[in-house]
Structure 1
Amino acid sequence: MLLFLVFSDTVFGNGPGTLAAPAASRVTYETKLEAVRLHLVEGCTYRKIMERFGIADRHRLKVWMKKYKELGEFGLVDQRGRRKEYIDQNRYVQALEREIKILKKCLEIWMQEMKRIDI
């Protein structure tokens, strides 16, 4: 089964003698961040932001806003192809910092106990 799409005089498809279909345009991190900033800081409407950046889907802006509110700027980074451990890196670092605090406190208590026993 052959599939063909015709754009002007260029033929795209999956059959022999055809060109690969053009890649969908990807929105950069900077564009997403600017769109979020325009909405949150300057109070621009979704419609104005969509017109300014040529975004066809209003839902896409809502997803960016939600990700920004949940994860900050890191939420706007394209995560496709990344392992989940790297996505949750910030939480992992925070857990390690809490563990370090606990261990330091345990060491401090242990040292005090050792000094008290030696006396």
Structure 2
Amino acid sequence: MKTLLFSLFVLITTTIAEARPVYGVSGSHGTVVRGPRGAVAVGEDRAAVATRRGVAVSGPNGTAVARRPYAAPLPRGYVRVVPTGYRTVVYRGYSCFFVGGVYYRTVIYQGETVYVIVD
């Protein structure tokens, strides 16, 4: 695991260093290196790498990687999340969510579940 963390550290800091100057901060708990493409934090028994494309974290309990989805902007009138406090109602023959005087209908857009604002 330490080899993997060191490899991630070297890979990301090399990429950052080649792009622009690197800004590093050292402390009693480890080292943080920040640059225009991301950041790396390395401690005694843990490490984290964050870039525009995602995050990788490794520590005593294991390793986790999360990639940032490249979601395209939605067309006007579509939203990814319905505001909290909604009620489920039937409106114009569709099962909709109602909150704040607005009706939201569930639809599939480009393989993703989103909500369209019903006029």
The normalised TM-score by structure 2 is: 0.23
Flag the structure with larger Rg: 1
Structure with greater proportional strand content: 2
